[in-house]
Amino acid sequence: MEKKSISIHFKLHKIQTLQFATIGEAPDLSPTLPSQQTIEVLFETYENTNLISCIMDYTILDKERPFIKIKVSCEFEMNGDDLESLSDKDKNHITLPRNFAKHLAEITLGTARGILHEKTADTPFNKYLVGVLELNTMFKEDVVV
C-alpha cells in the first residue's frame, strides 16, 4: 500500500548551543585520514505546545580522544492542525514521517556546522568541520517521539 504524502507546515522557532567544547590541543591529522566522528540525533516534544526540538550531539575524535564536542538544539514550531494529524493521544506520542524527521535533522546539522565554524574561528580547531553525513542511513523509518 502506498503512503499518502502530507504537507507539514513549520518554522524554526529557536536555536540553542547546549554544549560546546574544544578539548586539549587540536590534533595534526593527515588530510588523507579523516577524523572519526560520533553523532546522536534525538527529538523532543513539549506538553501543551506546538514545539518539537531536534537535538544533535556531535563529537570529533582523534583515535579515541574527543577534541571537539558540540550539542545543538533547533526548536521548530509546528502548525497546530499538522501536529494534531501526527499525534496519537491514546499512546501519548507523535509520529514524525521519516522524510520530515530527516529534514529537521538536516536543518539542525547545518546549524551545528555553522555554530562550530563560528566558535572555532581563528583557532587551530577551525579546520575540523562537521562532516558530510548520510542521513538516509540514520532515518530508515518514521520517528516516534
Report how far apart the first and last C-alpha atoms of the chain are (Å, whole number).
24
- CA–CA separation, 145 and 142 (whole Å): 10
Spatial separation of the C-alpha atoms in residues 117 and 125, rounded to whole Å: 9
0.95 exceeded by pTM: no
4: confidence class by pLDDT, cuts 50, 70, 90: low
Q: What structural domains and CATH numbers belong to the chain?
A: 10-26+34-144 (3.10.420)
- Residue labelled with grid coordinates 533547533: 74
Tell me if 120 sits within 8 A of 86, measured CB to CB.
Answer: no
Q: What is the tens place of the pLDDT at every residue in 28-57?
A: 876 656 678 899 999 999 888 999 999 999
CA distance 130 to 73: 15
